[in-house]
Amino acid sequence: MSDCCGNQLPVAAQKSCCGGAPTPSCSSSSNDPFAWFDHMISNCYDYAIAQKSAGYPIVGIMCEFTPREIIMAAGAVPVCLCGGAHSTIAAAEESLPSNLCPLIKSTYGYAVQRSNPFLEMSDLLVAETTCDGKKKMFEMLAERTPMHILELPQKADEATSLARWREELVKLKEALETRFSVKITDDCLRVATVNMNRERDLRRRLAALMERPAPPLTGRRLLDLKSTISCIPEELDALEKVLTILEQTQPPCGIEKRPRVLLTGVPTAHGAEKVLDILESSGGLVVCQENCTGVKPILEDVCTCGDPLDAIAKKYLHLPCSVMTPNTGRFDSLHELVARFRPDCVVDLVWQACLTYDVESARIKRFCEEELHLPYLKIETDYSPSDAPRIAVRVEALYETIRGQ
């Protein structure tokens, strides 16, 4: 065993596990920093292949509660495996109930079809006890790929929860050390934290551009400036350049007249942007996504002082997900985001059969209407394009109401 930050690195790689991995050449290194994101999936694929060939393990993750910092500190590459494809759902329904959230089915469908190269190359999956559907799907996924499950305390506000969550993170750290024959030191964790904080900071600054009365980009364009693998050096460089360009970019003509939308609810995994696209193609502008593919995971950094595992545990337990009870953080977050992004309405996206977000939507509606004084629209849908016209009609009616006001 060796210090993963240090000099005696084991196995295939004489590597620095602290984010200093050698990087393959990505097709982004053109002068156009947006190009990296136009080819994001293939760039991530090239990166993952190169890292794996160099002896760096690939670790698949499926939720924002998984601290990427710990995986990176083990010298591994965390890759998001959340499925956003409608095309994989039929394969999943051969063994999963059809009345299940499309995100779960799509993720599992990739496994059935063996069509997600990132899953196929994963040495380990790290998942957690969030919603019931995911938990039970993970048991099936674990039959084909080794998996470590984090037990997530679901009363985030309770005093003992943080200590229990930290214990789970210690178990994850030890599992990674054993599986990959590395030693995760505090220094490794701090380096990974600094890298992740840098990425979060860049993404926060990009998101903040949408606070402007006339932002220089659309919500869809902002969503596309996101990677399924964090902290790829080329990606961070591209993000820096994109930010510099966008800060000086003139807004598209008339963008300030479009109804401003705050999108809350479930994540919109890569490929599952249907509702976001409808919201913008119907004339609106999604100025903020308060969800796991938007600002939710980047609102808070990991503190770099003190014990690194304490700091990581604290940041991740704060994530205001509907699997928590009560999920008070979501109300606080909405309050703050509405003040910053000044939306004209709130749209609450709920994937079909997502019980936690579905049930929580009644309180979110009341909060939006009575406390934030904003029109609220709940959209419950799946990954199928078949209901897009019906959704568009409801969205247009919402925009008419806003214009009428």
Q: Which stretch binds ligand SF4 (CB under 6 A): 39-47, 63-71, 203-211, 389-397?
A: 63-71
Structure tokens at 239: 């993000």
Q: Which stretch binds ligand SF4 (CB under 6 A): 1-9, 59-67, 194-202, 282-290?
A: 59-67
CA distance 15 to 28: 24
Answer for which of 61, 77, 354, 398 binds ligand SF4 (CB under 6 A) is 354
CA distance 173 to 179: 10
Binding status of residue 127 toward ligand SF4 by CB under 6 A: no
Structure tokens at 115: 């069509």
Fill in the per-residue mask, 356 to 395: x = in contact with ligand SF4 (CB under 6 A), - = not in contact: xx--------------------------------------
Binding status of residue 183 toward ligand SF4 by CB under 6 A: no
- How many residues sit close enough to ligand SF4 to count as binding (CB under 6 A)? 20
Binding status of residue 351 toward ligand SF4 by CB under 6 A: yes
Asked whether 265 and 381 are in contact (CB, 8 A), the reply is no
Q: Which stretch binds ligand SF4 (CB under 6 A): 67-75, 86-94, 96-104, 304-312?
A: 96-104
* Residue 50 CB-density burial (10 A; 0-12 exposed, 13-18 middle, 19+ buried): middle
CA distance 376 to 345: 6
CA distance 61 to 100: 20
Binding status of residue 156 toward ligand SF4 by CB under 6 A: no
CA distance 182 to 176: 8
Closest CB to ligand SF4 among 51 and 129?
Answer: 129
Asked whether 208 and 21 are in contact (CB, 8 A), the reply is no
Q: Which stretch binds ligand SF4 (CB under 6 A): 46-54, 113-121, 129-137, 245-253?
A: 129-137
In sequence order, the 6+-apart residues with CB closer than 8 A to the CB of 32 are none
Binding status of residue 61 toward ligand SF4 by CB under 6 A: no
> What are the helix (H) ranges across 144-185?
159-180
Answer for which of 83, 84, 219, 267 binds ligand SF4 (CB under 6 A) is 267
Binding status of residue 345 toward ligand SF4 by CB under 6 A: no
Q: Between vectors from CA 178 to CA 174 and to CA 184, what angle results, nearest 5°?
A: 55
Instruction: Centre a 10 Å sphere on the Cβ of residue 240 and count the other Cβ atoms it contains.
Output: 14
Closest CB to ligand SF4 among 183 and 296?
Answer: 296
Using CB under 6 A, list all residues that contact ligand SF4.
63-65, 101, 103-104, 130-131, 133-134, 266-267, 292, 319, 321, 323, 351, 354, 356-357
